[in-house]
Chains A and B, each alone.
Chain A
Amino acid sequence: MTARPMRPAVDRFAPVVEGWFRVHAGLVYGFLFLPILVVVVFSFNGTTRYVTDWAGFSVIWYQRAFSDPTVMNALRNSLGIAFVNAILATAFGTMAALALQRVPRRLRIVFDALTFVSIIVPEIVIALATLVLFSIFRDWVNPWLAYLAGSGGPVPRLTLGPWSIVAAHVLFNLSLVLLIVRARLSGMDRTLVDASSDLYASPWRTFTQVTLPQLLPAIVAGFLLAFTFSFDDYVISSFVNGSTQTLPLYVFGQIHQGVTPVVNAIASVMLLVTITILVVGQYVLTRQSRSRGERGSTPLGMLEG
């Protein structure tokens, strides 16, 4: 028997495995997009009765939604709350992330523990705990307001509303921004900061010309994340809203009577808002990182390890 030269073993299953991975990926993407597609398609349904009875293309439900004062009021509230929340959360989170680099170790440990707790506690617990706090605060403040107002004139009353939603949202988003900015800070080149101060730049100048440009992608990502979280939030808002309506609260209230085409239309508008934010954010970040010659950035810091 003659010895044959060794050949690498042929992996007969490689195409099968490869194919299986592709099919799996296809199925998962189908699963992820099917519901979104359903909502958008049926929002253009011209039916007057059932959501799923297709009666031709129409934008009538969009017109209805946009001419409904309740919906428009809820939309305005949602956008306002999301914006104020995103500004505050981004500012506080970024400031804390910067400061935590140089505070005493013990303070940093306490802060880390609090951040950990704020993330590990389920959203609904934050919601109910802040509701309890705000109610106590309200009941404590109102007698004082009545006293200060004196006997004449209308008595001002503090009620839960946009302010309490913003306060609770900021708590939740502050930690998110803090973590995202910190991840970016830890990957930053400290020698640039040292070089800047060696070249007699003032601390403020070093911050605006060296640190801030490097942090910007993380700050933008944090801002957008905070904005969309707040814009979409139902859980916290449903506890501390008082009598304020936001878009998610309105939508949730509606579906108790079943999904209507109006709900689909509102949902599609909300979808458009978030996707616009996503695309704009991604565009800004990619342009920014390209101009500095970096590798394309990952989608909005979501994939930063």
Chain B
Amino acid sequence: MTGLLVLPAGLWYLILLVLPLAIVVIYSFGVRGTDGGYTPALVLENYNRLFARPDPFILSLEIAIAGTLLCVLIGFPLAYYLATRAGRRKSLLLVLLVIPFWTSFLIRTIAWLIILGPDGLDGFMTNLLGQDVAFLGSPWSILLGIVYNYLPLMIFPLYVTLERLDQTLLEASKDLGAARWATFRQVTLPIAAPGVITGSILVFIPLMGEYVIPSILGLGKVFLIGNVLQLDFLGSRNWPAGSAKAVVLIAIMLISVTFYVWTTSRGRAGRDVSVL
């Protein structure tokens, strides 16, 4: 009976997750068919070409890491404020945080197109400085769009851990003569660590595969892995080359997330760090 209950979910995982990923791995060793798609083969050509030109991977990693760091730096003080100082306004502020998160990703990004574009910031700055300013279309505008879209994902887990922070610990630390910074480093931060880890993973994963933000705010001039994958599959229809990139991307994700969780949760009870 219970076996029947897991059946639909299990079938879905098998047919739409395991099987397609296995096919992608097989495809990554193949060659492109004459009119696109796939022709069976067993070559390493796709991987060789990929490692010869790893630029999109490097740029994606740089932007993902910078974006995650920025989310921590901006999100931490806000989560701390919400958890400890917001008082009566807390529930309202929390709902306000959820609203942008629930609104369409596409729309929030398009809005920046107006704000940053020639009728917005870029135009204003160009007039002001008397020379062309093109923030839109640069990796910086992508970083901005990324922080904007993923900040709530960082704040939620941070808030949850910080809310459990026992205020008497901070008072004790203060009474024992610790300065503000020392209290933060030695009391608050270790307690908040699981939240930082969960938040970082939640932000880092979608960042690595991001392709909507770079294609909108990058004006088609910036190529992250996501954009390259999109081009390979829907543009030039070179499925084997795209498959090889997808396989490398999955490998990067598995290795980096496992490594990150492992190094940051060493020495603490591993259970309180949960990606799932």
Q: Which residues of A contact B (CB under 8 A)?
A: 13, 17-18, 21-22, 24-25, 28-29, 31-36, 38-39, 42, 50-52, 91-93, 95-96, 98-100, 102-103, 107, 111-112, 114-126, 128-133, 135-136, 167-168, 170-171, 174, 178-179, 228, 231-232, 234-235, 238-239, 248, 251-252, 255, 259, 263, 267, 270-271, 274-275, 277-278, 282, 296, 298-300, 302-305
Chain B residues near A302 (CB-CB < 8 A)? 98, 101, 156
Instruction: Give the secondary structure class of A's interface.
Output: helix
- How far, in angstroms, from A121 to B254 measured CA to CA in the complex? 8
Q: Which residue of B lies closest to A263 (CB)?
A: B110
Chain A residues near B100 (CB-CB < 8 A)? 32-33, 36
Chain B residues near A300 (CB-CB < 8 A)? 98
Identify which of A38, A116, A304 contacts B111 (C-beta below 8 A): A38
In the complex, the answer to whether B104 meets A271 with C-beta atoms within 8 Å is yes
Q: Is B196 an interface residue (CB 8 A)?
A: no
- How far, in angstroms, from A8 to B111 measured CA to CA in the complex? 51
In the complex, the answer to whether A120 meets B254 with C-beta atoms within 8 Å is yes
B interface, size bucket = 35 or more
Identify which of A35, A135, A277, A304 contacts B108 (C-beta below 8 A): A35
- How far, in angstroms, from A26 to B10 measured CA to CA in the complex? 46
In the complex, the answer to whether A128 meets B104 with C-beta atoms within 8 Å is no
In the complex, the answer to whether B212 meets A235 with C-beta atoms within 8 Å is yes
In the complex, the answer to whether B8 meets A95 with C-beta atoms within 8 Å is yes
In the complex, the answer to whether A296 meets B81 with C-beta atoms within 8 Å is no
Chain B residues near A102 (CB-CB < 8 A)? 2
In the complex, the answer to whether B276 meets A119 with C-beta atoms within 8 Å is yes
In the complex, the answer to whether B17 meets A21 with C-beta atoms within 8 Å is no
**Interface pairs (25), CB distance under 8 Å:** A24-B77, A24-B81, A28-B74, A32-B97, A34-B115, A39-B111, A99-B2, A114-B13, A114-B18, A116-B275, A116-B276, A118-B17, A122-B226, A123-B206, A125-B21, A126-B20, A129-B23, A132-B23, A174-B13, A231-B104, A238-B230, A251-B107, A251-B110, A259-B117, A282-B95
The 5 closest A-B pairs by CB, nearest first: A122-B209, A35-B111, A129-B20, A99-B5, A96-B9
- Among B44-52, B185-193, B245-253, B262-270, the stretch in contact with A: B245-253
Given contacts A232-B106, A263-B110, A303-B94, could you give 5 more A-B pairs where the C-beta distance is less than 8 Å? A24-B77, A51-B114, A114-B17, A116-B275, A130-B16
In the complex, the answer to whether A100 meets B6 with C-beta atoms within 8 Å is yes
- How far, in angstroms, from A129 to B250 measured CA to CA in the complex? 12
Chain A residues near B243 (CB-CB < 8 A)? 128, 132
- How far, in angstroms, from A44 to B129 measured CA to CA in the complex? 32
Chain B residues near A17 (CB-CB < 8 A)? 180
- How far, in angstroms, from A129 to B242 measured CA to CA in the complex? 10
Q: Is B140 an interface residue (CB 8 A)?
A: no
Decide: A305 near B161, CB < 8 A? Known: A24-B77, A116-B276, A251-B106: yes
Residue interface mask B98-131, A partner, CB < 8 A = 1: 1111111111101111110101100000000000
Chain A residues near B276 (CB-CB < 8 A)? 112, 115-116, 119, 179
Residue interface mask B131-170, A partner, CB < 8 A = 1: 0000000000000000010011000110111001000000
